C-alpha cells in the first residue's frame, strides 16, 4: 500500500544522505591534495602509499591519478544525488497518494 511504500522510502533517505557525505569528504581531501601538487617543483619528489610502504612516484603520474580520482568521486556524487532526487520524488508521489505530509532533507 502507498503508506507502507512511503515509509520504506522515508527509511531509505537517511542512508542515501549518509552515503552522499562520504564521497563529499573524499572530494574535499583530494582537492587539498591537488592544491599540494600545484605547489610542487620538478625538484620535489612525489610518493604514494602501497600498503604501509611509501613508494616514489612520477609527479605527472601522481597528478594524473589525482585527477582521475577526483573525476570518479564527482561521478559518484552525481549518481548519489540523482538517487536522492529520485527518492524525494517517489516520497512526494507516495505521500500524495497516501495523504501523508512530506519533509525533504535534500
Which grid coordinates belong to 39?
605547489
Instruction: Find the radius of gyration of the CA atoms of the chain.
Output: 21
Say which CATH number the domain at 50 has.
1.10.287.370
Strands 46-50 and 53-57: antiparallel
Question: pTM score, two decimals?
Answer: 0.73
pLDDT for 19: 82
pLDDT digits (tens, 9 = 90+) for 18-58: 888 889 889 999 999 899 989 989 899 999 889 899 999 99
**C-alpha–C-alpha distance, residues 5 and 84, integer Å:** 16
Q: Is residue 59 part of a domain?
A: yes
Q: Which domain holds residue 58?
A: 2-98
What single DSSP character describes residue 83? H
**Total number of domains constituting the chain:** 1
Percent of all residues in the chain with a pLDDT value above 70, rounded to a whole number: 92
Q: Is residue 78 part of a domain?
A: yes
Amino acid at each position: 500500500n502507498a503508506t507502507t511504500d512511503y515509509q520504506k522510502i522515508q527509511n531509505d533517505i537517511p542512508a542515501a544522505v549518509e552515503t552522499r557525505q562520504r564521497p563529499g569528504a573524499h572530494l574535499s581531501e583530494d582537492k587539498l591534495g591537488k592544491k599540494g601538487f600545484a605547489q610542487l617543483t620538478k625538484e620535489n619528489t612525489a610518493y604514494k602509499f602501497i600498503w604501509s610502504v611509501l613508494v616514489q612516484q612520477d609527479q605527472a603520474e601522481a597528478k594524473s591519478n589525482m585527477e582521475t580520482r577526483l573525476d570518479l568521486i564527482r561521478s559518484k556524487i552525481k549518481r548519489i544525488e540523482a538517487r536522492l532526487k529520485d527518492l524525494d520524488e517517489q516520497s512526494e508521489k507516495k505521500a500524495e497518494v497516501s495523504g501523508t505530509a512530506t519533509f525533504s532533507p535534500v
